[in-house]
Copies of this chain bind each other. A is one copy, B any other.
Amino acid sequence: MHAHPIIDALKGHRSIRKFKPDPIPDEHIRAIVEAAQAASTSSNIQAYTVIGVRDPERKQALSVLAGNQRYVAECPLMLVWCADLHRLELVMEMHNGQLHQNTETLLLGTVDVSLAAQNAAVAAESLGYGIVYIGGIRNRPDDVAELLRLPANVYPVFGMCVGTSDQEPDLRPRLPMGAIYHEETYAEDETLLGAIKAYDETLQAYYAERSGGARASNWSVETASRMQADKLRGHMKGHLNRQGFRLE
């Protein structure tokens, strides 16, 4: 592949967790949201909403709710991306119908908001900003919903800090392509295990080099730890049910 500016920009993504306080002009927010809106959406349903938080007290509250992540308070703009079927409820009422929720509508809103958010991430980075996704917004989703006054049929999927970067993190390698891209049918376990072991070695060397040898870990060790049952936000079903989603 020859140099290609858009693909190079995508491949240059790093999550930024330290921001300068410089505010983001309204015209940049508009460009970011317009780019988000241009993403594909299932049957043009547009089942998502993004809430832009710039108020320092509200950002501080979100920072605490997301697991005391300092950069949520420090970034000039915190975007909270929500799967949203409330507008569709209004649409059904306009036409004397009723909104039905099931597993499909949960997936539909979750996919729609993710596609839009990723376009926003690319747009923000192309304007020179750094971003980081905040999955921690699902740590205390009931409190986030109350703080942002989310109505029924809306839930917060993730946050995104946007601002001028104040750090230059390295690019962390990903799994070998063969682990995530398969041709024609799903790969054999043997192939996957080989890719996982190769990646373990890559990340172990990466961690060791960056920590001067102090950090002895690898991907599978870290991931096995992260996927422990007690870390998996077992409250999400209850939250979704309280917000009107039905996992049926």
Contact = CB atoms under 8 A, between A and B. Distances in A.
A68 interface: no
Query: What is the oligomeric copy number?
Result: 2
A200 B85 CA distance: 18
Interface residues of A, number: 115
B43 A154 contact: no
Contacts of A167: none
A151 B105 CA distance: 24
A180 B105 contact: no
A149 B60 CA distance: 47
A11 B34 contact: yes
A7 interface: yes
A66 interface: no
A211 interface: no
A72 interface: no
A100 to B, nearest CB: 4
A102 B223 contact: no
Contacts of A162: none
Interface string A176-210: 01011111111001001100100000000000000
Interface in A30-58: 30-31, 33-40, 42-46, 48-55, 58
Contacts of A193: 90, 94
Contacts of A127: 4, 7
A121 interface: yes
Contact of A91 (B5, B51, B196): B196
A224 B94 contact: yes
A115 to B, nearest CB: 5
A122 B118 CA distance: 10
Nearest to A1: B31
Given A46-B174, A92-B227, 10 more contacts: A6-B123, A6-B126, A39-B121, A45-B226, A51-B185, A54-B183, A55-B184, A88-B227, A91-B219, A114-B115
Interface of A: 1, 4-7, 9-13, 15, 27-31, 33-40, 42-46, 48-55, 58, 84, 86-88, 90-92, 94-95, 97, 99-100, 102-105, 107-108, 110-111, 114-119, 121-123, 126-127, 132-133, 135, 138, 147-151, 154, 157-158, 172, 174-175, 177, 179-186, 189, 192-193, 196, 219-224, 226-229, 232-234, 236-237, 240, 247-248
